[in-house]
Structure 1
Amino acid sequence: MPFGEQPAYLRVAGDLRQKIVDGSLPPHTRLPSQARIRQQYGVSDTVALEARKVLMAEGLVEGRSGSGTYVRERPVPRRLARSGYQPEGESTPFRQEQADERIKGTWESCSEQEGASPSVAERLEIEPGERVMRTRYVYRADGEPAMLSTSWEPLAITGRTPVMLPEEGPLAGRGVVERMAAIDVIVDNVLEEVCARPGLAEETAALGGVPGHPVMVVIRTFFASGRPVETADLVVPADRYRIAYHMPVR
């Protein structure tokens, strides 16, 4: 194949992709069959099949059992604003993670103690196996699952205090900064790293997505005087969210 020339299946996928993007193949339209693609583009069955696989991997089409392959509805990405902790106003976990005040947010959570895994221990600067409180959240925006979060807090800091359980006690449902301040731990810094990866089956099932489709992960750690006091993984569907950072210039 000459340098720069695309394989046939990518050329076919590219043409079909353009038709999806420009509306020639609108959402919920059935994608041309493998035989029709073969005939229309003058390609083999193998090329037609690979072109369809590309569109499915890109999340543009979906298979429906016993019916065929259809163009997916393209979601309008929402903005996930990251601007640091704001001491004014409400400081619930949802507001901490989703700063768009126009969205009505709710969450479900479950907390339990466990031994820190090596990766969590490294992030919290503790020994593997040390006890931590793990809390899993499912955030919902306007009733739809929008984000997953798993957080870990060292029980050496919060154990046997009123804030040991993030969703119980006098500060139930408040943010990390406020809860830590109640036990005289002053959070003064936060580190966030953003990466993308294929979604795990249980993640995409909880978020209403397709297994293997990409998710964005915000890896966040709160610090107090240089000591990590909480670390969390925030997972959002890459096709439904954009992560926006608003940082002051000093």
Structure 2
Amino acid sequence: MPAALCTDSYPVQRKSSDRFRRAHRKAGKAAYQAETEQSGSVPSVNVLFVGPAEAPEDIADRLGVPPGAQVLARKRRYFRDGVPTEEATSYLPWQVVKDIPEMFAENPGGGGIYARLEEHGYGLVEFTETVRARLASKAEASALALSPGAPVIHLVRNAIVADGSVVEVCDTIMAADQFVLDYRFPATD
């Protein structure tokens, strides 16, 4: 018997040109909240962990710290109309966050961690993302209420400040059927 996918809602559209606009942070909204509301849905988030952790090798390389160095990890699960859609862990260098108490709170305040970084002198100038499609692991399928072997998007983002330093790496697993990634690139040199 053929399988059918029935859904009453459209996927969340993540527009590269709009996703991390400073205006969203100034309005007190984190990126996921703004995007989910734009899709006509209700966003929510469960904080799974906030605290010190050892930087995994791939994350340490992106942050420019030694593997195993102490970083702040912030792990969250995001929901759209009560359905889990993504799980993300942000890793921030300890030297950057140690004097920003809001970063250690479950709710860092309006605009999220990017707003707190900017308030403390870390003006974000660029984001880079590495995007890969693959099948969900057993743990990922369970966390996102997916069928075994369902496709996911593995997105790893660097948040970069003016001197080129990476002040956050966000490692995200997304239910592939819940998102459209919309990228915009300049055509000029």
**Could you tell me the TM-score, scaled by structure 1's length?**
0.64
Q: Distance in 1 between matches of 2:187 and 2:101?
A: 37
Match of 2:139 in 1: 202
Higher relative contact order (CA 8 A, sep 6+): 2
Q: 1:166 to 1:98 in 2, by over 3 A?
A: farther
Larger radius of gyration: 1
1:126 aligns with 2:65: yes
Partner of 1:86: 21
Instruction: Work out which of the residue numbers 156, 171, 184 in structure 2 matches 1:233.
Output: 171
CA-based RMSD: 2.4
Q: Provide the secondary structure at the position in 1 that maps to 2:140.
A: helix
Matched, 1:116 2:55: yes
Q: Does residue 1:245 correspond to 2:183, yes or no?
A: yes
Aligned to 1:180: 117
Task: Give the strand-richer structure, 1 or 2.
Answer: 2
Q: 1:97, CA displacement in angstroms? A: 6.2
Counterpart of 2:155 in structure 1 is 218
Aligned residues: 180
CA contact (8 A) 2:159 2:169 kept: yes
Residue type of the alignment partner of 1:73: L
Q: CA deviation at 1:123?
A: 1.1
Residue aligning to 1:73: 5
The CA deviation at 1:217 is 1.6
> For the Cα contact (< 8 Å) 2:156–2:170, is it kept in 1?
yes
Letter in 2 for 1:115: E
Q: In the alignment, does 2:69 pair up with 1:136?
A: no
Cα shift at 1:163: 3.1
Q: What's the CA shift string for 1:25-65, capped at 9, x where partnerless?
A: xxxxxx2xxxxxxxxxxxxxxxxxxxxxxxxxxxxx6xxxx
Deviation at 1:87, TM superposition (A): 2.3
**Cα distance in 1 for residues equivalent to 2:145 and 2:100:** 37
Give yes or no for contact 1:151–1:230 (8 Å, CA) kept in 2. yes
Which aligned pairs between 1:129-168 and structure 2 lie closer than 5 A?
129-165=68-104, 167-168=106-107
1:26 matched residue in structure 2: none
From 38, 54, 57, the counterpart of 1:100: 38
Identity of aligned residues (%): 23
Deviation per residue, 1:203-231 (Å, 9 max, x gap): 11121111222101221110112000001
Query: Cα 1:237–1:140, aligned 2, differ >3 Å: closer, same or farther?
Result: same
Distance 1:125 1:239, change over 3 A: same
TM-score by length of 2: 0.82
Q: CA deviation at 1:175?
A: 2.4
